[in-house]
């Protein structure tokens, strides 16, 4: 593998790395060293990884090699380099969530999702950046600084898992861990031109013992998920991550594969009348044709179950619950982006009735049921990831009109979490100006396998995702 004609180890996908390490064609230590070298070469320009301990990375890789030498199973992610978002507990590291106030909040145990990744043989290259409180679709904070998009520096890398998206797009790791409460895996994947999965609610166990219990929005809509440069790698990461844990009271031991479904998909270019960018509409139409070539029936519809209303319900539960406490915490942190998010929602929050939270919980159930029944008829749904191309970086810090524009464009990201359904952001190329393009796919609850199968058909008929900053 050292021959110059061979691709660099850091550039390989997770599936290929795991196979090479398991067969002892290369060592996990060699892969880790290559990953660290790649990080050193490109991370200073994008600030995707904000903490790296090379000695720990190499020690973890050596442990994988030792297991293989003893004839033990190293796990499905044998030697695969990954990054882990600073929002989750990783033993010995600060769970900062992008906050100066949490710079010394050192985790004593691994979050279940971290334990499952590392227990599956993955080797951590470092911790990836997030905006303060993981609030924004942009990644910047007072503690770790700004993360840049490796595709185009003037565009957002997305948020809140912007460090994760930028890292995997730039070849820093084959898999990135992210979290998603309102699009925080799916949007960075789209903005950075890679793939990202928001799994079904309850599919991937997560719990931070370092902090307080999550509030209503976090408990009912937040989930961890993987980002990767190929659908196969996304599936491999998901398989390792998707394990229940008693610390997560919502986790469910659901099977990874379900019964056969009708190969029928719904396509909606402008859900709830969204003014979807023509380039994104074209990506959806082309993806639909690729599915039809694979034997799917794809029906174009004018409407889907609620999206915009679902987004309002989501914001009510996420930001409306203890809004004064959230605002006070953001004011104490002093982060401009976090304050902009909360202050921009002040009018909406003030308009809520005293019983808005219980009413939102009731409406959440009704909308989730509509989507569940829709998924019975259409096992797959294609819709835009956003109504706009990736935003200019920090657009939300501009005028009030800019702020409203950002949030209105993101209804398809924000609304879906209340349904509990899995959603996959699939990279589909780029505009002539280099702005990433993508689509969003939704399936029935615990039917990530349907998403992976359909995404694989589209990927097989498309150009592969290229690594940025070659």
Reduce the secondary structure of 74-121 to three states and give it as a string: CCCCCCCEEEEECCCCCCCCECCCCCHHHCCCECCCCCHHHHHHHHCC
Residues ≥6 apart with Cβ < 8 Å to 421:
200, 371, 372, 375, 442, 443, 444, 445
Q: Please write down the HEC assignment for all residues of 265-286.
A: EEECCCHHHCCCCHHHHHHHHH
What one-character-per-residue DSSP string does 16-78 give? HHHHHHHTTSS-HHHHHHHHHHHHHHHHHHH--EEE--HHHHHHHHHHHHHHHHTT----TTT
Q: How many Cα neighbours within 13 Å face the side chain of 16?
A: 15
> For residue 6, what pLDDT is reported?
81
> For residue 5, what pLDDT is reported?
64
- Cβ atoms < 10 Å from Cβ of 213: 9
Contact status, residue 156 vs residue 135, Cβ threshold 8 Å: no
Candidate list 27, 85, 134, 326, residue with the active-site label: 85
Helix, strand, coil percentages for the chain (3-state, nearest 5): 45, 15, 45
- What's the residue count for the chain? 470
- Among this protein's residues, is 153 annotated catalytic? no
- Among this protein's residues, is 103 annotated catalytic? no
Candidate list 29, 124, 134, 184, residue with the active-site label: 184
Residue 410 three-state SS: coil
Q: What is the CATH number of domain 9-460?
A: 3.90.1300.10
CA proximity to 20, closest of 154, 121, 161: 121
Contact status, residue 68 vs residue 21, Cβ threshold 8 Å: yes
CA proximity to 207, closest of 135, 321, 122, 113: 113
Provide block-wise average pLDDT over 10 residues at a time, the chain (470 residues).
Answer: 72 98 98 98 98 98 98 98 98 98 98 98 98 98 98 98 99 98 98 98 97 94 98 98 96 96 98 97 98 98 98 97 97 98 97 97 98 98 98 98 98 98 98 98 98 98 96
- Within 277-318, strands assigned E span 297-300
> For residue 3, what pLDDT is reported?
45
> For residue 321, what pLDDT is reported?
94
Residues ≥6 apart with Cβ < 8 Å to 141:
98, 99, 129, 130, 131, 132, 335, 337
Residue 314 three-state SS: helix
Candidate list 29, 124, 134, 160, residue with the active-site label: 160
Domain boundaries of the chain, sorted by first residue: 9-460
Residues ≥6 apart with Cβ < 8 Å to 368:
418, 419, 420
| Spatial separation of the C-alpha atoms in residues 93 and 315, rounded to whole Å | 30
> For residue 83, what pLDDT is reported?
99
With tokens 């003014």, the residue in question is 275
- Among this protein's residues, is 160 annotated catalytic? yes
């Amino acid at each position: 593998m050292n021959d110059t004609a061979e691709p660099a180890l850091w550039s390989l996908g997770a599936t290929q790395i795991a196979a090479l390490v398991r067969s002892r064609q290369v060592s996990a230590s060699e892969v880790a060293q290559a990953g660290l070298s790649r990080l050193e070469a490109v991370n200073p320009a994008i600030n995707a990884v904000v903490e790296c301990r090379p000695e720990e990375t190499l020690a973890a890789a050596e442990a994988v090699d030792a297991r293989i030498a003893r004839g033990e199973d190293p796990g499905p992610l044998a030697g695969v380099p990954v990054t882990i978002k600073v929002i989750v507990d990783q033993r010995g590291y600060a769970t900062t969530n992008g906050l100066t106030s949490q710079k010394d909040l050192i985790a004593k145990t691994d979050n279940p999702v971290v334990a499952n990744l590392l227990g599956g043989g993955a080797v951590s290259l470092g911790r990836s950046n997030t905006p303060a409180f993981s609030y924004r679709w942009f990644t910047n904070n007072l503690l770790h600084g700004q993360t840049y998009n490796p595709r185009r520096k003037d565009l957002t890398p997305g948020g809140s898992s912007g460090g994760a998206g930028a890292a995997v797009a730039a070849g820093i790791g084959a898999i990135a861990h992210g979290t998603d409460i309102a699009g925080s895996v799916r949007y960075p994947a789209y903005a950075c031109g890679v793939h990202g999965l928001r799994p079904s609610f309850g599919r991937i166990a997560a719990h931070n013992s370092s902090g307080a219990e999550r509030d209503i929005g976090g408990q009912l809509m937040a989930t961890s998920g993987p980002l990767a440069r190929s659908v196969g790698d996304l599936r491999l990461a998901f398989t390792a991550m998707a394990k229940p844990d008693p610390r997560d009271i919502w986790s469910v031991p659901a099977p990874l594969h379900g019964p056969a479904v009708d190969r029928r998909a719904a396509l909606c270019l402008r859900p709830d009348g969204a003014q979807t960018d023509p380039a994104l509409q074209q990506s959806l139409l082309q993806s639909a044709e690729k599915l039809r070539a694979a034997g799917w029936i794809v029906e174009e519809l004018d409407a889907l179950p609620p999206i915009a209303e679902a987004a309002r319900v989501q914001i009510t539960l996420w930001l409306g619950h203890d809004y004064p406490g959230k605002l006070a915490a953001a004011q104490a942190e002093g982060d401009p982006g976090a304050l902009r998010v909360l202050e921009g929602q002040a009018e909406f929050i003030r308009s809520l009735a005293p019983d808005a939270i219980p009413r939102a919980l009731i409406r959440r159930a009704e909308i989730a049921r509509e989507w569940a029944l829709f998924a019975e008829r259409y096992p797959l749904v294609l819709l835009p990831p956003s109504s706009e191309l990736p935003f200019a970086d920090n657009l939300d810090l501009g005028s009030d009109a800019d702020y409203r524009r950002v949030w209105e464009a993101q209804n398809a990201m924000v609304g879906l979490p209340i349904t509990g359904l899995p959603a996959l952001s699939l990279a589909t190329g780029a505009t002539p100006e280099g702005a990433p393009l993508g689509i969003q796919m939704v399936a029935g609850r615990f039917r990530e396998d349907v998403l992976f199968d359909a995404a694989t058909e589209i990927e097989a008929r498309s150009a592969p995702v290229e690594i940025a900053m070659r």
